[in-house]
Amino acid sequence: TQLLEQSPQFLSIQEGENLTVYCNSSSVFSSLQWYRQEPGEGPVLLVTVVTGGEVKKLKRLTFQFGDARKDSSLHITAAQPGDTGLYLCAGFYNKFYFGSGTKLNVKP
Amino acid sequence: DSGVTQTPKHLITATGQRVTLRCSPRSGDLSVYWYQQSLDQGLQFLIQYYNGEERAKGNILERFSAQQFPDLHSELNLSSLELGDSALYFCASSVGSRLSYEQYFGPGTRLTVT
């Protein structure tokens, strides 16, 4: 059983579409991170959110931490093929717990 | 490039054998973390070392052990290997000792047990 549930597990969209990935838990985390991982490589940190309700933007990516610090979302605007990869959320509660990931494929 | 290096990149070995994975953290980072990533379990935290001392333990099996040396590089030893130990093993490093610090991952070692 995963402490962090990510949805959807798989997402295949056309270039230019918008998408949202969700990361949910029944536990409260003191911080939450989003990573992007490409095949054969290690996860790369995208953002850390620490305050309930916090919103951070990174170019076309918008990250939100839920008010109760139990959930988070990642929204990508006008997706590009270069956004293809595995997106992982990780919540910190005494240690890091990782979600199972969302595999995103953006078709040109 | 995260600045974290791991060797070897690939490792193929037989059941019952023992292997050692090596990790060098980013310059200036004192903490090293080990993770296992498999298809069915996702990314699982194994163990953390800070400046040579064990700091936190996760889902690490008794057949696995790790250490961090005075030059801060770390080794993960896996013994009595089983087919289920086949996975990607990642090392990450951070500047501080608290697990909440941002971590930078290495490229991983792919272990295949046959």
Residues of A numbered 71-100 whose beta carbons fall under 8 angstroms of chain B's beta carbons: which are they? 88, 90, 92, 94-100
Nearest to A91, CA basis, from A8, A3, A1: A3
CA B89/CA B22 separation, integer angstroms? 10
CA B83/CA B74 separation, integer angstroms? 24
Segment B44-92, tens digit of pLDDT? 999 999 999 999 898 899 999 999 999 999 999 999 999 999 999 999 9
Mean pLDDT across B25-33: 94
Q: Quick check: B4 pLDDT over 90?
A: yes
Spell out which residues of chain A touch residue B58, defining contact as CB-CB under 8 Å: 95
CA A26/CA A34 separation, integer angstroms? 18
Residues of B numbered 47-106 whose beta carbons fall under 8 angstroms of chain A's beta carbons: which are they? 48, 56, 58, 90, 92, 99-100, 102-106
Please state, as a whole number, how many other Cβ atoms lie within 10 Å of the Cβ of residue B63.
Answer: 13
Q: Is B78 helix (H, G, I), strand (E, B) or coil?
A: strand
The DSSP output letter for B21 is E
Cβ within 8 Å, pair A100-B92: no
Confidence of residue B99 (pLDDT cuts 50, 70, 90): low
CB contact burial A9-42 (16+ within 10 A = b; e otherwise): eebebeeeeebebbbebeeebebbbbbbbeeebb
Mutate to test the interface with A, among B49, B100, B103, B111 (most CBs of A within 10 A): B100
Percent of chain B predicted with pLDDT > 90: 79
Which residues does A58 contact at the CB level (< 8 Å), separation at least 6? A46, A47
Mean pLDDT across B102-106: 91
At residue B108, φ and ψ (nearest 5 deg) are 95, 160
Give residue A40's pLDDT.
81
Segment A28-71, tens digit of pLDDT? 998 899 999 998 889 999 999 989 999 999 999 999 999 999 99
At residue A77, φ and ψ (nearest 5 deg) are -100, 135
B10: part of which helix (H) or strand (E)?
strand B10-13
Confidence of residue B39 (pLDDT cuts 50, 70, 90): confident
Give residue B26's pLDDT.
95
Residue A56 in tokens: 């951070």
Cβ within 8 Å, pair A92-B99: yes
